[in-house]
Chains A and B, each alone.
Chain A
């Protein structure tokens, strides 16, 4: 039984400390915006922020994040208008949309760390997130837009 702060709200997780954070978020906290894609940290669909840093929730446990701040796509901004979310809409990024919460959380984290990313840094920073529909060109354009305004 661990207490985890998700999107500013304390939640008691009814499970052992090694409960996978992804499934605690989805099944126990009922926040389904964070997706399961691989369970092995290979695709980035489950990306959340832990104390502001991008983390693959499929590789984390609730014990590891006890006492820390976990942010999911639902908590990224109060009104859903984080600059990354706005850019995603401007560039009509998604196709099926399933990976996009993870992409957006990853993008927001790397932009938080360094607001003026070079193209190489964008490509490297987003390379852990797979989009099977193939929206990379628009993902990169949207991140670049937030980063440099271009």
Chain B
């Protein structure tokens, strides 16, 4: 995400291409492989088991590394150590990527250790853990590095034993030739001293030889530590002489303290210092909000001391923000023409000539991520060096931002990545790490900054608020001839650059421009909305309001026409085809999640397939008892296709969800067990989003503060049985995103089910848990 924001701000080509490969390619070609032909030349391999393909990973800063000497080491006792270079926030990437490498090299998983990389992209390649990219961008490099180590072990054995390499076979964690046998550890020193082989010299496992890849038969590497309390998250780091800080931040972004009284604060035992911090206003990227910091000898004293501060805040630049009125402003804007992002056919003519126009709008409130671990960081800035321990999604980005904030060369800054107690995009923004580092620099001691839950709910980088208005033109036969979708929402870009009120290409690529329906006349539009708080990305980002609107709308349209929802949805998606962006009026800078479009095209057959699976498994069309209903939704995001079928049961007016089916097509399923856990989790987060997640503002300040008024789904009302159906594919169907795509179809599926059960249509998120 960050990478694309930097691109958007620099006004560079929206999809930056590797210089050599794309130098002469017209951007109008959408970077198609067929058009350039480079892929055939560059990626032919003797290994038929593994035909390499191009991913967006090569376009990310520092790209992808293929050197096993960076990622793998083998001890003399045979212990294999593999580096996890992506942040672990619950998706399982810290396990699943090393698992791929281990399988391909022949390692026994029980003899594999995982070590977490520090933030160092020149060494490890891109480490920006968001966008559902870890497996999608790195599965190939993990296989290649595994195959390289296996090749090196074979070469070392052949040389040592004086035999032909062709006679050497690799078993699980051992090498043999004729009667000779050696463990990996016996050959490690010789093998790792060899040059890394070229890709063309490698052989790859065939899929029937996989032991772990695609099996879902291993547990996450931190499972034992998590269940015994030994796993280390951000707040669990402790340094000698460390001080503890809590910060009072401005109620509205940019408000300054007029005066404060710390008398009561200093009466709290353990409080040592009170420091003023510079106030910031957006656009300021991840600069801390500023405020007043309380330094103490323990966290309890820091928080109590902070809470005891009496502060009078001045009105600030955003003190007039009232989100209820703002939603109505957006609603009015959405009814007017917006800037046209995609024009196909002649939408105006279709609406002018329509027998009937059907229009609805759908809103969403801001959301805070509310990961269970609030922001926290430990920093030690001393002797011209800075070392930070923090749960960050983008450790190298954090390192750069810290270097800037501390006015130090980046070489003198070290960022150690702990486990993340949830991330969901919030921990891509390193303001909390900067706070800790600046405080440490100021007081000359190591500092831990702990955010309270109230701090987290009130001072986030929020999911945007939105109104999505959809209108269709119908002809005399009730056929949809025109589609207009105007999206109005403050942009994430406002956090990084002066705000134009308009969204940028990645927000528009998330379920807006890429709308897959087979409709001849389409106008995709964006009306302006200015930001009045810090806007950031939240798991699934703009896909949440887009799926909410589009998938609710089609159900409403079906009801209006007296049609079956599934039939109409299938019909609107239309014949099996790959969308052709230039022919279908997509803009030149259309963003397909950073991928080369032809490698990850929009495929209506795959979209319909997941919809059919979810509907069939849920028993679509069957009779249900009174007070129950089934609802469907389908959405492509992060180049993965997910359909949700939700069954709701209304009990004394309360919406419950006894059952949900999640059908997911994410290409090759590298770790089906973690895919299932992500879908189960998405069902829960989607239900929280649907019913509860509403951050509202009065006079620039967030109204909510903790889990009593910003509630989460709990075990007393959760999707009780989530059935995950993973569409099986071979390795040739490129692995796609998993962390985010499960969420967007869940809220509309639940709302459509509520309509089926009660006849009541819900159009505003969150809609509460009663009906």
Binding site for B on A (CB under 8 A): 15-16, 19-20, 22-24, 26-28, 30-40, 42-43, 45, 72-74, 80, 85, 88-89, 92, 94-101, 104, 122-124, 126-140
Whether A100 touches B226, Cβ cut-off 8 Å, given contacts A39-B303, A134-B713, is yes
Q: Is the interface of A mostly helix, strand, loop or mixed?
A: loop
B227 interfacial by beta-carbon distance below 8 Å = yes
Query: Are A36 and B228 closer than 8 Å at their CB atoms?
Result: no
Shortest B228–chain A CB gap in Å is 4
B718 interfacial by beta-carbon distance below 8 Å = yes
A16's nearest neighbour on chain B, judged by CB, is B269
Return the 9 tightest CB-CB contacts between A and B, nearest first: A33-B229, A134-B684, A98-B421, A96-B90, A73-B229, A95-B90, A23-B300, A97-B226, A134-B681
Shortest A107–chain B CB gap in Å is 11
Tell me which of A28, A43, A80, A136 contacts B227 (CB under 8 A). A80
**Pairs across A and B, CB under 8 Å, 27 listed:** A19-B298, A22-B300, A23-B298, A24-B300, A27-B244, A32-B229, A33-B229, A34-B229, A35-B233, A42-B706, A43-B453, A92-B223, A94-B220, A95-B681, A96-B422, A101-B229, A127-B714, A128-B714, A130-B712, A132-B372, A134-B680, A134-B681, A135-B681, A136-B714, A136-B715, A137-B720, A138-B677
Using a CB-CB cutoff of 8 Å, which residues 442-485 of chain B contact chain A? Answer: 450, 452-454
Whether A136 touches B233, Cβ cut-off 8 Å, given contacts A20-B300, A26-B299, A92-B677, is no
Q: CA of A128 to CA of B716 in the docked complex: distance in angstroms?
A: 9
Chain B 706-737, CB-CB to A under 8 Å as 1, else 0, gives 11100011111011111000000000000000
Query: Are B236 and A32 closer than 8 Å at their CB atoms?
Result: yes
Query: Are A127 and B226 closer than 8 Å at their CB atoms?
Result: no
- 17 new A-B contacts at CB < 8 Å, known A94-B226, A133-B422: A15-B298, A19-B300, A32-B232, A32-B235, A37-B373, A37-B374, A39-B303, A42-B707, A45-B372, A94-B90, A95-B92, A96-B421, A100-B227, A101-B229, A134-B685, A135-B680, A139-B715
Q: Which one of A16, A92, A104, A126 has the greatest number of beta carbons of chain B within 10 Å?
A: A92
Chain B 640-657, CB-CB to A under 8 Å as 1, else 0, gives 000000000000000000
B231 interfacial by beta-carbon distance below 8 Å = yes
Query: Are B229 and A72 closer than 8 Å at their CB atoms?
Result: yes
Residues from chain B with a CB closer than 8 A to the CB of A89 are 219, 223-224, 227
Residues from chain B with a CB closer than 8 A to the CB of A19 are 298, 300
Q: CA of A133 to CA of B450 in the docked complex: distance in angstroms?
A: 21
Residues from chain A with a CB closer than 8 A to the CB of B683 are 134
Query: Are B682 and A80 closer than 8 Å at their CB atoms?
Result: no
Using a CB-CB cutoff of 8 Å, which residues 291-346 of chain B contact chain A? Answer: 298-301, 303
Query: Are B374 and A36 closer than 8 Å at their CB atoms?
Result: yes
B222 interfacial by beta-carbon distance below 8 Å = yes
Query: Are A123 and B372 closer than 8 Å at their CB atoms?
Result: no
Shortest A21–chain B CB gap in Å is 9
Residues from chain B with a CB closer than 8 A to the CB of A28 are 298
Shortest A122–chain B CB gap in Å is 8
Q: CA of A86 to CA of B683 in the docked complex: distance in angstroms?
A: 26
Q: CA of A108 to CA of B426 in the docked complex: distance in angstroms?
A: 32
Query: Are B372 and A43 closer than 8 Å at their CB atoms?
Result: yes
B91 interfacial by beta-carbon distance below 8 Å = yes
Residues from chain B with a CB closer than 8 A to the CB of A135 are 677, 680-681
B421's nearest neighbour on chain A, judged by CB, is A98
Query: Are A96 and B269 closer than 8 Å at their CB atoms?
Result: no
Shortest B161–chain A CB gap in Å is 41
Query: Are A137 and B707 closer than 8 Å at their CB atoms?
Result: no
Query: Are A133 and B715 closer than 8 Å at their CB atoms?
Result: no
Query: Are B685 and A132 closer than 8 Å at their CB atoms?
Result: yes
B370's nearest neighbour on chain A, judged by CB, is A132
Residues from chain A with a CB closer than 8 A to the CB of B712 are 43, 130, 132
Shortest A46–chain B CB gap in Å is 11
B174 interfacial by beta-carbon distance below 8 Å = no
Shortest A88–chain B CB gap in Å is 5
Whether A73 touches B422, Cβ cut-off 8 Å, given contacts A32-B236, A132-B370, A134-B682, is no
Residues from chain B with a CB closer than 8 A to the CB of A99 are 372, 421
Using a CB-CB cutoff of 8 Å, which residues 421-451 of chain B contact chain A? Answer: 421-424, 450
**A-B interface pairs (CB < 8 A), number:** 187
Using a CB-CB cutoff of 8 Å, which residues 596-627 of chain B contact chain A? Answer: none
B402 interfacial by beta-carbon distance below 8 Å = no
Query: Are B219 and A131 closer than 8 Å at their CB atoms?
Result: no
Q: CA of A37 to CA of B419 in the docked complex: distance in angstroms?
A: 15
Residues from chain B with a CB closer than 8 A to the CB of A95 are 90-92, 677-678, 681
Binding site for A on B (CB under 8 A): 88-92, 219-220, 222-224, 226-233, 235-236, 238, 244, 269-270, 298-301, 303, 370-374, 419-424, 450, 452-454, 673, 677-678, 680-685, 706-708, 712-716, 718-722
Q: CA of A100 to CA of B678 in the docked complex: distance in angstroms?
A: 16
Q: CA of A134 to CA of B219 in the docked complex: distance in angstroms?
A: 18
Shortest A40–chain B CB gap in Å is 5
Query: Are A92 and B220 closer than 8 Å at their CB atoms?
Result: yes
Tell me which of B223, B233, B707 contacts A38 (CB under 8 A). B707
B222's nearest neighbour on chain A, judged by CB, is A97
Query: Are A123 and B419 closer than 8 Å at their CB atoms?
Result: no
Query: Are B421 and A94 closer than 8 Å at their CB atoms?
Result: no
Query: Are A97 and B684 closer than 8 Å at their CB atoms?
Result: no
Tell me which of B227, B673, B708, B715 contacts A140 (CB under 8 A). B715
Shortest B583–chain A CB gap in Å is 40
Q: CA of A127 to CA of B371 in the docked complex: distance in angstroms?
A: 18
Q: CA of A84 to CA of B34 in the docked complex: distance in angstroms?
A: 55
Residues from chain A with a CB closer than 8 A to the CB of B450 are 36
B303's nearest neighbour on chain A, judged by CB, is A39
A27's nearest neighbour on chain B, judged by CB, is B298
Query: Are B300 and A35 closer than 8 Å at their CB atoms?
Result: no
Whether A123 touches B371, Cβ cut-off 8 Å, given contacts A26-B299, A73-B229, is no
Whether A127 touches B716, Cβ cut-off 8 Å, given contacts A27-B300, A40-B708, A98-B421, is yes
Residues from chain A with a CB closer than 8 A to the CB of B421 are 35, 96-99
Q: CA of A29 to CA of B231 in the docked complex: distance in angstroms?
A: 17
Shortest B421–chain A CB gap in Å is 3
Shortest B219–chain A CB gap in Å is 6
Residues from chain A with a CB closer than 8 A to the CB of B229 are 31-34, 72-74, 101
Shortest A98–chain B CB gap in Å is 3
Q: CA of A135 to CA of B90 in the docked complex: distance in angstroms?
A: 11
Q: CA of A32 to CA of B448 in the docked complex: distance in angstroms?
A: 14
Query: Are A39 and B227 closer than 8 Å at their CB atoms?
Result: no
B681's nearest neighbour on chain A, judged by CB, is A134
Shortest B632–chain A CB gap in Å is 21
Q: CA of A140 to CA of B269 in the docked complex: distance in angstroms?
A: 42
Q: CA of A33 to CA of B230 in the docked complex: distance in angstroms?
A: 6
Residues from chain A with a CB closer than 8 A to the CB of B718 are 134, 136-137
Q: CA of A96 to CA of B89 in the docked complex: distance in angstroms?
A: 5
Q: CA of A73 to CA of B722 in the docked complex: distance in angstroms?
A: 29
Query: Are A27 and B681 closer than 8 Å at their CB atoms?
Result: no
Query: Are A130 and B707 closer than 8 Å at their CB atoms?
Result: yes
Whether A40 touches B707, Cβ cut-off 8 Å, given contacts A32-B236, A134-B683, is yes
Residues from chain B with a CB closer than 8 A to the CB of A126 are 715
Q: CA of A26 to CA of B238 in the docked complex: distance in angstroms?
A: 10
Residues from chain B with a CB closer than 8 A to the CB of A26 are 235, 299
Query: Are B372 and A131 closer than 8 Å at their CB atoms?
Result: yes
Whether A39 touches B452, Cβ cut-off 8 Å, given contacts A101-B229, A135-B681, is yes
Residues from chain B with a CB closer than 8 A to the CB of A97 are 90, 222, 226, 231, 419, 421
